[in-house]
Amino acid sequence: MNKNTIVEIKNLRYKYPNSSEWVLKNINLRIMRGEFLCIAGPSGCGKSTLLYSLNGIVPHATGGLVEGKVIVDSLDTRKHSIYELSKIVALVQQNPENQMRTFSVRDELAFGPENLLLPRSEILDRITWAAKMVDIEPLLDREIRELSGGQKQRVAIAAALSMKPEVLVLDEPTSNIDPGSSIEIAKNLKAMHSKTGITIILAEHKLDLFLPMANRLCIMKEGEIVCDGDPRSVLIRYRDLLLEIGVRPPEISELFLNLTRAGYRCPPNLPLSLEEALESFKGNSGRPFKCICSPSRDIRSSEGGPIVEVENLSYVYPGGFKALDGINLQVRAGEFVGIIGNNGSGKTTFLLHLIGILKPQKGKVLIFGMDTRTTPISTIARRVGIVFQYPSQQLFENSVRDEMLFAPRNFGISEETVAKRFHDLLKEVDLEGLDERHPHSLSVGQMKRLNLASILIYDPDLIIMDEPFLGQDYGHIRKVMGILSELNRRGKTIFIVSHHITELAEYASRLLLFEGGRIIEDGPTREVLGRLSDSEERHPFCTPLCRLSRILFGKKIEEAPITVDEMFLALSGEGH
Protein backbone atom coordinates (compact mmCIF):
# COMPACT_ATOMS: atom_id res chain seq x y z
CA MET A 1 0.00 0.00 0.00
CA ASN A 2 1.45 3.36 -1.08
CA LYS A 3 2.38 5.58 1.89
CA ASN A 4 0.24 8.38 0.42
CA THR A 5 -2.78 6.08 0.30
CA ILE A 6 -4.97 6.06 3.43
CA VAL A 7 -7.78 3.76 2.19
CA GLU A 8 -7.59 1.00 -0.41
CA ILE A 9 -10.61 -1.13 -1.28
CA LYS A 10 -10.12 -4.17 -3.52
CA ASN A 11 -12.98 -6.13 -5.14
CA LEU A 12 -15.28 -5.52 -2.17
CA ARG A 13 -18.62 -7.35 -2.14
CA TYR A 14 -21.00 -7.50 0.76
CA LYS A 15 -24.45 -8.85 1.61
CA TYR A 16 -26.34 -8.51 4.90
CA PRO A 17 -27.37 -11.57 6.95
CA ASN A 18 -30.38 -13.45 5.56
CA SER A 19 -30.19 -11.46 2.31
CA SER A 20 -29.67 -12.90 -1.13
CA GLU A 21 -28.67 -9.56 -2.67
CA TRP A 22 -25.21 -8.05 -2.74
CA VAL A 23 -25.44 -4.52 -1.30
CA LEU A 24 -21.91 -3.74 -2.46
CA LYS A 25 -20.54 -5.17 -5.71
CA ASN A 26 -16.97 -5.12 -6.95
CA ILE A 27 -15.97 -1.89 -5.21
CA ASN A 28 -12.44 -0.79 -6.07
CA LEU A 29 -11.38 2.51 -4.59
CA ARG A 30 -8.14 4.18 -3.56
CA ILE A 31 -8.32 7.29 -1.37
CA MET A 32 -5.25 9.44 -0.84
CA ARG A 33 -4.29 11.14 2.42
CA GLY A 34 -5.82 14.59 2.71
CA GLU A 35 -8.51 14.09 0.08
CA PHE A 36 -12.02 15.47 0.49
CA LEU A 37 -14.18 12.83 -1.19
CA CYS A 38 -17.90 13.28 -1.70
CA ILE A 39 -19.97 10.16 -2.39
CA ALA A 40 -23.41 10.58 -3.96
CA GLY A 41 -26.05 8.27 -5.33
CA PRO A 42 -29.72 7.36 -5.06
CA SER A 43 -31.18 6.09 -1.79
CA GLY A 44 -30.37 2.43 -1.26
CA CYS A 45 -27.36 2.40 -3.58
CA GLY A 46 -24.99 1.28 -0.79
CA LYS A 47 -23.39 4.57 0.31
CA SER A 48 -23.92 4.02 4.04
CA THR A 49 -22.84 0.39 3.86
CA LEU A 50 -19.63 1.44 2.11
CA LEU A 51 -18.94 4.06 4.79
CA TYR A 52 -19.59 1.53 7.58
CA SER A 53 -17.09 -0.84 6.01
CA LEU A 54 -14.30 1.70 6.56
CA ASN A 55 -14.31 1.42 10.37
CA GLY A 56 -15.21 -2.28 10.66
CA ILE A 57 -18.88 -1.92 11.60
CA VAL A 58 -19.34 -3.89 8.40
CA PRO A 59 -18.87 -6.78 8.95
CA HIS A 60 -17.92 -7.00 12.68
CA ALA A 61 -21.18 -5.51 14.01
CA THR A 62 -23.52 -6.30 11.15
CA GLY A 63 -22.44 -9.84 10.28
CA GLY A 64 -23.17 -10.97 6.77
CA LEU A 65 -20.92 -12.14 3.97
CA VAL A 66 -17.96 -10.05 2.82
CA GLU A 67 -15.52 -10.68 -0.02
CA GLY A 68 -12.50 -8.65 -1.04
CA LYS A 69 -10.45 -6.32 1.16
CA VAL A 70 -10.70 -2.95 2.86
CA ILE A 71 -7.31 -1.65 3.97
CA VAL A 72 -7.21 1.47 6.15
CA ASP A 73 -3.75 2.86 6.92
CA SER A 74 -2.31 -0.66 6.36
CA LEU A 75 -4.91 -2.35 8.62
CA ASP A 76 -7.21 -4.97 7.13
CA THR A 77 -10.69 -4.17 8.50
CA ARG A 78 -11.63 -7.88 8.57
CA LYS A 79 -8.64 -8.74 10.77
CA HIS A 80 -8.71 -5.74 13.10
CA SER A 81 -11.42 -4.80 15.59
CA ILE A 82 -13.70 -1.78 15.54
CA TYR A 83 -11.81 -0.53 18.61
CA GLU A 84 -8.47 -0.65 16.78
CA LEU A 85 -9.90 0.96 13.65
CA SER A 86 -11.58 3.73 15.69
CA LYS A 87 -8.13 5.21 16.32
CA ILE A 88 -7.80 5.80 12.57
CA VAL A 89 -11.37 6.23 11.29
CA ALA A 90 -14.08 8.28 13.04
CA LEU A 91 -17.68 7.96 11.87
CA VAL A 92 -20.43 10.59 12.17
CA GLN A 93 -23.85 9.07 11.59
CA GLN A 94 -26.87 10.57 9.83
CA ASN A 95 -28.81 11.08 13.07
CA PRO A 96 -26.50 12.52 15.77
CA GLU A 97 -28.73 11.31 18.60
CA ASN A 98 -27.98 7.71 17.63
CA GLN A 99 -24.37 8.13 18.69
CA MET A 100 -24.63 10.29 21.80
CA ARG A 101 -23.41 8.38 24.84
CA THR A 102 -23.42 11.00 27.60
CA PHE A 103 -25.54 13.88 28.88
CA SER A 104 -23.24 16.91 28.48
CA VAL A 105 -21.24 18.28 25.56
CA ARG A 106 -17.92 18.20 27.45
CA ASP A 107 -18.47 14.58 28.51
CA GLU A 108 -19.40 13.62 24.94
CA LEU A 109 -16.11 14.98 23.61
CA ALA A 110 -14.23 13.21 26.40
CA PHE A 111 -15.93 9.84 25.89
CA GLY A 112 -13.74 8.56 23.04
CA PRO A 113 -10.36 9.66 24.43
CA GLU A 114 -11.28 8.25 27.85
CA ASN A 115 -11.89 4.87 26.25
CA LEU A 116 -8.40 5.09 24.76
CA LEU A 117 -7.14 5.43 28.37
CA LEU A 118 -5.32 8.67 27.58
CA PRO A 119 -3.86 10.87 30.34
CA ARG A 120 -6.25 13.50 31.71
CA SER A 121 -4.15 16.38 30.36
CA GLU A 122 -4.28 14.89 26.84
CA ILE A 123 -8.05 14.42 27.09
CA LEU A 124 -8.55 18.07 28.11
CA ASP A 125 -6.34 19.25 25.25
CA ARG A 126 -8.29 17.17 22.76
CA ILE A 127 -11.63 18.53 24.04
CA THR A 128 -10.42 22.10 23.62
CA TRP A 129 -8.95 21.43 20.17
CA ALA A 130 -12.01 19.56 18.80
CA ALA A 131 -14.45 22.16 20.15
CA LYS A 132 -12.45 24.92 18.46
CA MET A 133 -12.32 23.06 15.15
CA VAL A 134 -16.12 23.05 14.82
CA ASP A 135 -16.78 26.27 16.72
CA ILE A 136 -18.72 24.83 19.68
CA GLU A 137 -16.62 26.22 22.53
CA PRO A 138 -19.62 28.16 23.96
CA LEU A 139 -21.56 24.85 24.12
CA LEU A 140 -19.07 22.85 26.19
CA ASP A 141 -20.96 23.28 29.47
CA ARG A 142 -24.43 22.72 27.97
CA GLU A 143 -26.52 19.59 28.28
CA ILE A 144 -27.05 17.75 25.01
CA ARG A 145 -30.83 17.62 25.44
CA GLU A 146 -30.90 21.43 25.33
CA LEU A 147 -29.24 21.66 21.92
CA SER A 148 -30.79 22.14 18.50
CA GLY A 149 -30.38 19.54 15.78
CA GLY A 150 -27.58 21.51 14.13
CA GLN A 151 -25.74 21.94 17.42
CA LYS A 152 -26.02 18.21 18.15
CA GLN A 153 -24.56 17.40 14.75
CA ARG A 154 -21.58 19.68 15.37
CA VAL A 155 -21.08 18.05 18.78
CA ALA A 156 -21.07 14.65 17.06
CA ILE A 157 -18.39 15.88 14.63
CA ALA A 158 -16.32 17.33 17.49
CA ALA A 159 -16.63 14.04 19.42
CA ALA A 160 -15.32 12.20 16.37
CA LEU A 161 -12.46 14.67 16.01
CA SER A 162 -11.47 14.26 19.66
CA MET A 163 -10.24 10.80 18.68
CA LYS A 164 -7.64 12.55 16.46
CA PRO A 165 -8.48 10.24 13.53
CA GLU A 166 -6.66 10.06 10.22
CA VAL A 167 -10.00 9.77 8.41
CA LEU A 168 -13.31 11.49 9.20
CA VAL A 169 -16.34 9.73 7.68
CA LEU A 170 -19.72 11.47 7.61
CA ASP A 171 -23.03 9.93 6.56
CA GLU A 172 -25.40 12.69 5.38
CA PRO A 173 -24.51 15.04 8.26
CA THR A 174 -27.02 17.73 7.23
CA SER A 175 -30.07 15.60 6.41
CA ASN A 176 -32.08 16.53 9.53
CA ILE A 177 -31.08 20.13 10.12
CA ASP A 178 -32.03 23.60 8.93
CA PRO A 179 -30.22 25.51 6.14
CA GLY A 180 -28.35 27.83 8.47
CA SER A 181 -26.94 24.97 10.53
CA SER A 182 -26.11 23.05 7.34
CA ILE A 183 -24.09 26.00 6.04
CA GLU A 184 -22.26 26.28 9.37
CA ILE A 185 -21.34 22.58 9.30
CA ALA A 186 -20.08 22.91 5.72
CA LYS A 187 -17.95 25.91 6.72
CA ASN A 188 -16.59 24.03 9.75
CA LEU A 189 -15.60 21.04 7.60
CA LYS A 190 -13.94 23.24 5.00
CA ALA A 191 -11.92 25.14 7.62
CA MET A 192 -11.01 21.95 9.48
CA HIS A 193 -9.86 20.24 6.27
CA SER A 194 -7.74 23.25 5.38
CA LYS A 195 -6.13 23.49 8.84
CA THR A 196 -5.54 19.82 9.59
CA GLY A 197 -5.27 18.07 6.22
CA ILE A 198 -7.45 15.28 7.59
CA THR A 199 -9.00 12.94 5.02
CA ILE A 200 -12.75 13.53 4.75
CA ILE A 201 -15.15 11.02 3.18
CA LEU A 202 -18.71 12.28 3.06
CA ALA A 203 -21.96 10.86 1.67
CA GLU A 204 -24.53 13.54 0.83
CA HIS A 205 -27.46 14.47 -1.39
CA LYS A 206 -26.82 18.23 -0.93
CA LEU A 207 -24.12 18.70 -3.52
CA ASP A 208 -24.65 22.49 -3.55
CA LEU A 209 -23.12 22.63 -0.08
CA PHE A 210 -20.17 20.28 -0.34
CA LEU A 211 -18.95 20.00 -3.94
CA PRO A 212 -17.29 23.45 -3.90
CA MET A 213 -14.91 22.19 -1.18
CA ALA A 214 -14.49 18.57 -2.37
CA ASN A 215 -11.67 17.58 -4.70
CA ARG A 216 -13.25 14.29 -5.74
CA LEU A 217 -16.74 12.97 -6.46
CA CYS A 218 -17.80 9.30 -6.57
CA ILE A 219 -21.24 8.31 -7.83
CA MET A 220 -22.79 5.01 -6.77
CA LYS A 221 -25.63 3.05 -8.32
CA GLU A 222 -26.98 -0.33 -7.17
CA GLY A 223 -23.94 -1.11 -5.03
CA GLU A 224 -21.29 -0.11 -7.57
CA ILE A 225 -19.19 2.97 -8.27
CA VAL A 226 -20.25 4.12 -11.73
CA CYS A 227 -18.12 7.26 -12.02
CA ASP A 228 -15.27 8.80 -10.06
CA GLY A 229 -13.11 11.88 -10.55
CA ASP A 230 -12.81 15.62 -10.26
CA PRO A 231 -16.28 17.01 -9.39
CA ARG A 232 -16.49 19.33 -12.41
CA SER A 233 -15.42 16.59 -14.82
CA VAL A 234 -17.93 14.14 -13.37
CA LEU A 235 -20.80 16.65 -13.62
CA ILE A 236 -19.96 17.55 -17.22
CA ARG A 237 -19.26 14.05 -18.51
CA TYR A 238 -21.99 12.14 -16.68
CA ARG A 239 -24.74 14.78 -16.43
CA ASP A 240 -27.44 12.64 -18.04
CA LEU A 241 -26.52 9.56 -16.01
CA LEU A 242 -26.68 11.55 -12.75
CA LEU A 243 -30.18 12.84 -13.46
CA GLU A 244 -31.28 9.39 -14.63
CA ILE A 245 -30.26 7.68 -11.38
CA GLY A 246 -31.49 10.45 -9.07
CA VAL A 247 -28.48 12.70 -8.38
CA ARG A 248 -28.99 16.40 -8.97
CA PRO A 249 -25.96 18.63 -9.64
CA PRO A 250 -25.72 21.91 -7.74
CA GLU A 251 -28.31 24.32 -9.17
CA ILE A 252 -25.60 26.75 -10.27
CA SER A 253 -23.81 23.96 -12.15
CA GLU A 254 -27.05 22.68 -13.66
CA LEU A 255 -27.78 26.16 -15.04
CA PHE A 256 -24.40 26.39 -16.77
CA LEU A 257 -24.65 22.83 -18.08
CA ASN A 258 -28.01 23.73 -19.66
CA LEU A 259 -26.59 26.92 -21.18
CA THR A 260 -23.61 25.05 -22.59
CA ARG A 261 -25.87 22.43 -24.15
CA ALA A 262 -27.91 25.23 -25.75
CA GLY A 263 -24.80 26.60 -27.47
CA TYR A 264 -23.71 29.32 -25.11
CA ARG A 265 -20.02 29.65 -24.41
CA CYS A 266 -19.56 29.10 -20.70
CA PRO A 267 -16.42 29.24 -18.54
CA PRO A 268 -13.90 26.40 -19.00
CA ASN A 269 -14.24 25.52 -15.31
CA LEU A 270 -17.84 24.66 -14.54
CA PRO A 271 -19.04 26.93 -11.68
CA LEU A 272 -20.02 25.05 -8.52
CA SER A 273 -20.98 28.01 -6.35
CA LEU A 274 -22.55 31.46 -6.44
CA GLU A 275 -19.12 33.11 -6.19
CA GLU A 276 -17.76 31.14 -9.14
CA ALA A 277 -20.87 31.92 -11.19
CA LEU A 278 -20.53 35.66 -10.59
CA GLU A 279 -16.87 35.50 -11.54
CA SER A 280 -17.72 33.74 -14.80
CA PHE A 281 -20.25 36.40 -15.79
CA LYS A 282 -17.58 39.10 -15.44
CA GLY A 283 -15.53 37.64 -18.26
CA ASN A 284 -18.18 36.08 -20.49
CA SER A 285 -17.09 36.60 -24.09
CA GLY A 286 -19.20 34.03 -25.91
CA ARG A 287 -22.72 34.26 -27.26
CA PRO A 288 -24.23 37.09 -25.18
CA PHE A 289 -26.77 36.36 -22.49
CA LYS A 290 -30.01 38.28 -22.63
CA CYS A 291 -31.46 39.51 -19.36
CA ILE A 292 -35.06 38.73 -20.24
CA CYS A 293 -37.16 38.07 -17.19
CA SER A 294 -39.38 35.04 -16.82
CA PRO A 295 -43.16 35.45 -16.86
CA SER A 296 -44.80 35.55 -13.46
CA ARG A 297 -45.67 32.15 -12.04
CA ASP A 298 -49.26 31.02 -12.27
CA ILE A 299 -50.46 31.16 -8.69
CA ARG A 300 -53.69 29.29 -8.02
CA SER A 301 -56.49 31.63 -7.12
CA SER A 302 -58.98 30.24 -4.66
CA GLU A 303 -62.61 31.12 -4.31
CA GLY A 304 -64.75 30.92 -1.20
CA GLY A 305 -63.81 31.31 2.42
CA PRO A 306 -60.68 30.01 4.13
CA ILE A 307 -60.45 26.33 5.05
CA VAL A 308 -57.68 27.00 7.61
CA GLU A 309 -58.18 29.84 10.09
CA VAL A 310 -55.62 30.42 12.83
CA GLU A 311 -56.18 33.28 15.26
CA ASN A 312 -53.65 34.47 17.82
CA LEU A 313 -52.36 30.92 18.37
CA SER A 314 -49.83 30.47 21.19
CA TYR A 315 -48.39 27.35 22.78
CA VAL A 316 -45.85 26.81 25.58
CA TYR A 317 -44.35 23.37 26.26
CA PRO A 318 -43.85 22.05 29.81
CA GLY A 319 -40.63 23.60 31.04
CA GLY A 320 -41.44 27.02 29.67
CA PHE A 321 -40.35 26.85 26.00
CA LYS A 322 -42.66 29.11 23.97
CA ALA A 323 -43.06 27.28 20.67
CA LEU A 324 -45.79 29.49 19.15
CA ASP A 325 -46.32 33.14 19.87
CA GLY A 326 -49.44 34.75 18.39
CA ILE A 327 -49.80 33.01 15.00
CA ASN A 328 -52.42 34.40 12.62
CA LEU A 329 -53.04 32.74 9.26
CA GLN A 330 -55.75 32.08 6.70
CA VAL A 331 -55.41 29.54 3.88
CA ARG A 332 -57.93 28.90 1.11
CA ALA A 333 -58.67 25.66 -0.70
CA GLY A 334 -56.18 24.79 -3.43
CA GLU A 335 -53.18 26.66 -2.03
CA PHE A 336 -49.73 25.04 -1.98
CA VAL A 337 -48.01 26.36 1.15
CA GLY A 338 -44.32 25.86 1.87
CA ILE A 339 -43.07 26.42 5.42
CA ILE A 340 -39.42 27.12 6.23
CA GLY A 341 -37.50 28.10 9.34
CA ASN A 342 -34.75 27.01 11.71
CA ASN A 343 -35.04 23.91 13.87
CA GLY A 344 -37.06 24.91 16.93
CA SER A 345 -38.84 27.82 15.26
CA GLY A 346 -42.31 26.29 15.78
CA LYS A 347 -43.04 24.69 12.40
CA THR A 348 -43.85 21.16 13.60
CA THR A 349 -45.77 22.46 16.63
CA PHE A 350 -47.89 24.50 14.23
CA LEU A 351 -48.64 21.47 12.03
CA LEU A 352 -49.71 19.41 15.04
CA HIS A 353 -52.29 22.08 15.84
CA LEU A 354 -53.78 21.77 12.34
CA ILE A 355 -54.74 18.13 12.96
CA GLY A 356 -55.79 18.68 16.57
CA ILE A 357 -53.02 16.60 18.17
CA LEU A 358 -52.07 19.73 20.11
CA LYS A 359 -54.80 22.04 21.40
CA PRO A 360 -54.39 25.84 21.49
CA GLN A 361 -53.51 27.19 24.91
CA LYS A 362 -54.39 30.61 23.57
CA GLY A 363 -56.27 31.55 20.43
CA LYS A 364 -58.04 29.10 18.14
CA VAL A 365 -57.64 26.93 15.05
CA LEU A 366 -60.52 26.20 12.66
CA ILE A 367 -60.11 23.50 9.99
CA PHE A 368 -62.97 23.32 7.48
CA GLY A 369 -64.95 25.22 10.11
CA MET A 370 -64.15 22.64 12.83
CA ASP A 371 -62.74 24.03 16.07
CA THR A 372 -59.78 21.81 16.96
CA ARG A 373 -60.32 22.46 20.67
CA THR A 374 -63.63 20.62 20.67
CA THR A 375 -63.61 18.42 17.53
CA PRO A 376 -62.29 14.83 17.91
CA ILE A 377 -59.02 14.18 16.09
CA SER A 378 -60.66 11.27 14.25
CA THR A 379 -63.22 13.65 12.73
CA ILE A 380 -60.54 16.11 11.60
CA ALA A 381 -58.35 13.29 10.27
CA ARG A 382 -61.02 12.21 7.79
CA ARG A 383 -60.39 15.45 5.88
CA VAL A 384 -56.79 16.15 6.91
CA GLY A 385 -53.92 13.76 6.23
CA ILE A 386 -50.58 14.33 7.97
CA VAL A 387 -47.17 12.72 7.47
CA PHE A 388 -44.92 13.17 10.51
CA GLN A 389 -41.23 14.06 10.32
CA TYR A 390 -40.02 10.66 11.51
CA PRO A 391 -41.77 7.94 9.48
CA SER A 392 -41.57 5.11 12.03
CA GLN A 393 -43.76 7.12 14.41
CA GLN A 394 -46.86 6.39 12.33
CA LEU A 395 -46.31 2.80 11.22
CA PHE A 396 -48.51 0.43 13.23
CA GLU A 397 -49.11 -2.71 11.16
CA ASN A 398 -47.12 -5.81 10.18
CA SER A 399 -47.25 -5.39 6.41
CA VAL A 400 -47.27 -2.62 3.82
CA ARG A 401 -50.75 -3.73 2.74
CA ASP A 402 -52.22 -3.54 6.24
CA GLU A 403 -50.50 -0.23 6.86
CA MET A 404 -52.14 1.32 3.81
CA LEU A 405 -55.53 -0.13 4.77
CA PHE A 406 -55.23 0.99 8.42
CA ALA A 407 -56.94 4.36 7.93
CA PRO A 408 -59.69 3.20 5.52
CA ARG A 409 -60.64 0.43 7.97
CA ASN A 410 -60.82 2.91 10.84
CA PHE A 411 -62.91 5.29 8.74
CA GLY A 412 -65.29 2.52 7.74
CA ILE A 413 -64.26 2.55 4.07
CA SER A 414 -64.58 -0.90 2.50
CA GLU A 415 -61.54 -2.60 1.00
CA GLU A 416 -63.43 -2.98 -2.28
CA THR A 417 -63.71 0.81 -2.49
CA VAL A 418 -59.97 1.35 -2.15
CA ALA A 419 -58.74 -1.83 -3.90
CA LYS A 420 -57.77 -0.21 -7.21
CA ARG A 421 -56.43 2.89 -5.49
CA PHE A 422 -54.23 0.63 -3.36
CA HIS A 423 -52.34 -0.83 -6.31
CA ASP A 424 -52.13 2.50 -8.15
CA LEU A 425 -50.65 4.18 -5.09
CA LEU A 426 -48.09 1.44 -4.51
CA LYS A 427 -46.86 2.04 -8.03
CA GLU A 428 -46.95 5.82 -7.69
CA VAL A 429 -44.77 5.83 -4.57
CA ASP A 430 -42.39 3.17 -5.93
CA LEU A 431 -43.35 0.44 -3.46
CA GLU A 432 -44.81 -1.96 -5.99
CA GLY A 433 -44.23 -5.61 -5.07
CA LEU A 434 -43.60 -4.81 -1.41
CA ASP A 435 -47.19 -5.49 -0.24
CA GLU A 436 -46.20 -8.10 2.34
CA ARG A 437 -42.99 -6.49 3.59
CA HIS A 438 -42.93 -5.39 7.23
CA PRO A 439 -42.99 -1.54 7.21
CA HIS A 440 -40.03 -1.30 9.59
CA SER A 441 -37.91 -3.40 7.22
CA LEU A 442 -38.10 -0.63 4.61
CA SER A 443 -35.53 2.12 4.16
CA VAL A 444 -36.28 5.53 5.69
CA GLY A 445 -37.19 6.91 2.27
CA GLN A 446 -39.51 3.98 1.55
CA MET A 447 -41.19 4.35 4.95
CA LYS A 448 -41.76 8.04 4.26
CA ARG A 449 -43.41 7.25 0.92
CA LEU A 450 -45.52 4.56 2.62
CA ASN A 451 -46.70 7.22 5.09
CA LEU A 452 -47.78 9.37 2.16
CA ALA A 453 -49.60 6.51 0.41
CA SER A 454 -51.34 5.62 3.69
CA ILE A 455 -53.04 9.00 3.82
CA LEU A 456 -53.67 9.46 0.10
CA ILE A 457 -55.63 6.21 -0.03
CA TYR A 458 -58.55 7.80 1.85
CA ASP A 459 -58.41 10.99 -0.26
CA PRO A 460 -58.15 13.83 2.33
CA ASP A 461 -58.77 17.43 1.26
CA LEU A 462 -55.82 18.89 3.15
CA ILE A 463 -52.42 17.15 2.99
CA ILE A 464 -49.72 18.07 5.51
CA MET A 465 -46.14 16.81 5.23
CA ASP A 466 -43.35 17.44 7.73
CA GLU A 467 -39.94 17.04 6.03
CA PRO A 468 -41.21 14.81 3.19
CA PHE A 469 -37.76 14.49 1.61
CA LEU A 470 -36.09 12.71 4.53
CA GLY A 471 -34.20 9.74 3.10
CA GLN A 472 -35.19 10.57 -0.50
CA ASP A 473 -32.82 10.92 -3.43
CA TYR A 474 -33.49 13.48 -6.16
CA GLY A 475 -35.49 11.03 -8.27
CA HIS A 476 -37.85 10.21 -5.41
CA ILE A 477 -38.10 13.88 -4.40
CA ARG A 478 -39.35 14.61 -7.92
CA LYS A 479 -41.74 11.68 -7.70
CA VAL A 480 -43.23 12.86 -4.38
CA MET A 481 -43.51 16.46 -5.57
CA GLY A 482 -45.08 15.31 -8.83
CA ILE A 483 -47.78 13.46 -6.87
CA LEU A 484 -48.45 16.46 -4.63
CA SER A 485 -48.42 18.89 -7.55
CA GLU A 486 -51.03 16.84 -9.41
CA LEU A 487 -53.21 16.66 -6.29
CA ASN A 488 -52.88 20.42 -5.91
CA ARG A 489 -53.86 20.90 -9.55
CA ARG A 490 -57.04 18.92 -8.78
CA GLY A 491 -57.87 21.28 -5.91
CA LYS A 492 -56.24 19.66 -2.87
CA THR A 493 -54.58 21.98 -0.36
CA ILE A 494 -50.96 21.19 0.46
CA PHE A 495 -48.77 22.16 3.45
CA ILE A 496 -45.08 21.19 3.37
CA VAL A 497 -42.48 21.89 6.03
CA SER A 498 -39.04 21.45 4.50
CA HIS A 499 -35.42 22.58 4.55
CA HIS A 500 -35.27 21.91 0.77
CA ILE A 501 -35.80 25.47 -0.44
CA THR A 502 -35.05 24.48 -4.05
CA GLU A 503 -38.11 22.22 -4.29
CA LEU A 504 -40.36 24.70 -2.50
CA ALA A 505 -39.24 27.42 -4.91
CA GLU A 506 -40.36 25.26 -7.82
CA TYR A 507 -43.68 23.98 -6.49
CA ALA A 508 -45.09 26.10 -3.64
CA SER A 509 -47.25 29.09 -4.53
CA ARG A 510 -47.00 30.56 -1.03
CA LEU A 511 -44.13 30.58 1.45
CA LEU A 512 -44.12 31.09 5.22
CA LEU A 513 -40.95 31.73 7.25
CA PHE A 514 -41.15 30.86 10.95
CA GLU A 515 -38.81 32.43 13.47
CA GLY A 516 -39.10 32.26 17.26
CA GLY A 517 -42.64 30.91 17.14
CA ARG A 518 -43.87 33.66 14.81
CA ILE A 519 -44.54 33.94 11.08
CA ILE A 520 -42.19 36.70 9.97
CA GLU A 521 -42.61 36.26 6.19
CA ASP A 522 -45.77 35.28 4.31
CA GLY A 523 -46.54 35.78 0.64
CA PRO A 524 -46.15 34.44 -2.89
CA THR A 525 -43.04 32.26 -3.04
CA ARG A 526 -41.22 34.45 -5.57
CA GLU A 527 -41.75 37.58 -3.50
CA VAL A 528 -40.68 35.99 -0.22
CA LEU A 529 -37.52 34.52 -1.76
CA GLY A 530 -36.76 37.91 -3.30
CA ARG A 531 -36.96 39.59 0.08
CA LEU A 532 -34.85 36.87 1.67
CA SER A 533 -32.24 37.34 -1.07
CA ASP A 534 -31.96 41.01 -0.08
CA SER A 535 -31.49 40.14 3.62
CA GLU A 536 -27.96 38.97 4.34
CA GLU A 537 -28.87 37.44 7.70
CA ARG A 538 -31.55 35.28 6.01
CA HIS A 539 -29.47 34.09 3.04
CA PRO A 540 -29.57 30.47 4.32
CA PHE A 541 -33.29 30.42 3.49
CA CYS A 542 -32.66 31.49 -0.07
CA THR A 543 -31.00 29.32 -2.71
CA PRO A 544 -27.72 30.46 -4.34
CA LEU A 545 -29.64 30.56 -7.63
CA CYS A 546 -32.13 33.09 -6.25
CA ARG A 547 -29.29 35.26 -5.00
CA LEU A 548 -27.61 35.03 -8.40
CA SER A 549 -30.88 36.11 -10.02
CA ARG A 550 -31.20 39.18 -7.81
CA ILE A 551 -27.57 40.21 -8.34
CA LEU A 552 -27.67 39.78 -12.12
CA PHE A 553 -31.06 41.24 -12.91
CA GLY A 554 -32.10 43.47 -10.03
CA LYS A 555 -35.65 43.01 -11.23
CA LYS A 556 -38.82 43.58 -9.29
CA ILE A 557 -39.36 40.88 -6.70
CA GLU A 558 -42.43 39.49 -8.43
CA GLU A 559 -40.52 39.07 -11.72
CA ALA A 560 -37.27 37.53 -10.51
CA PRO A 561 -36.52 34.01 -11.84
CA ILE A 562 -36.13 31.51 -9.00
CA THR A 563 -35.63 28.09 -10.66
CA VAL A 564 -33.04 26.67 -13.06
CA ASP A 565 -35.53 26.64 -15.95
CA GLU A 566 -36.61 30.23 -15.28
CA MET A 567 -32.99 31.39 -15.04
CA PHE A 568 -32.18 29.65 -18.32
CA LEU A 569 -35.04 31.48 -20.04
CA ALA A 570 -34.08 34.76 -18.40
CA LEU A 571 -30.46 34.51 -19.51
CA SER A 572 -30.98 33.06 -22.99
CA GLY A 573 -34.29 34.59 -24.00
CA GLU A 574 -35.43 31.18 -25.25
CA GLY A 575 -39.19 31.00 -25.66
CA HIS A 576 -39.68 34.80 -25.87
Left (φ > 0), alpha (ψ -120 to 50) or beta: where does 356 sit?
A: left
What residues contact 15, with CB distance under 8 A and at least 6 apart? 21, 22, 23, 64, 65
Check residue 574 and give its pLDDT: 58
Q: Where are the beta strands (DSSP E) in 33-117?
A: 36-40, 65-72, 75-76, 89-92
Beta strand extents in 134-181 (DSSP E only): 167-171
pLDDT of residue 294: 45
Q: 575 pLDDT exceeds 50?
A: no
279 pLDDT higher than 90:
no
Check residue 131 and give its pLDDT.
96
Buried b (16+ CB within 10 A) or exposed e, 82-111: eeebbbbbbbbbbbbeebbeeebbbbbbbb
Quick one: fold of 5-88+165-249? Rossmann fold (3.40.50)
Per-residue pLDDT, 284 = 55
Distance separating alpha carbons of residues 496 and 494, to the nearest angstrom: 7
- CB under 8 Å to 147, separation ≥6 — which residues? 105, 139, 155
Element spanning 450, H or E: helix 444-456
pLDDT at 47 over 50: yes
d(CA 201, CA 169) in angstroms, rounded, equals: 5
Question: pLDDT band at 443, cuts 50/70/90?
Answer: confident
Could you tell me the pTM of the whole model? 0.87
Per-residue pLDDT averaged across 256-284, rounded? 86
Confidence of residue 556 (pLDDT cuts 50, 70, 90): low
Helix/strand/coil for 570: helix
**Using 50, 70 and 90 to split pLDDT, how confident is the model at 308?**
very high
Distances in Å between the Cα of 95 and the Cα atoms of 184, 244, 297 are 17, 28, 37
Range of lowest pLDDT (163-172, 465-474, 504-513): 465-474
- Can you give the residue ranges of every domain in the chain? 5-88+165-249, 95-164
pLDDT at 415 over 90: no
Q: What is the per-residue pLDDT across 124-173, written as a single tens digit (0 to 9) for each?
A: 999 999 999 998 999 999 999 888 778 899 999 999 999 999 999 999 99
Question: How confident is the model at residue 344, as a pLDDT?
Answer: 85
- pLDDT reported for residue 349: 94
| Nearest by Cα to 270 from 193, 207, 206 | 207
Please report the beta strands in 145-198, taking only residues with DSSP state E, as ranges in sequence order: 167-171
Q: Rounded distance, CA 468 to CA 443, Å? A: 14
Start-end of H helices in 116-148: 120-133
Per-residue pLDDT tens digits for 225-239: 999 999 999 999 999
pLDDT band at 533 (very low <50, low <70, confident <90, very high): confident
Q: Is 524 helix (H, G, I), strand (E, B) or coil?
A: strand
pLDDT, mean over the chain: 91
Instruction: Give pLDDT, residue 125.
Output: 97
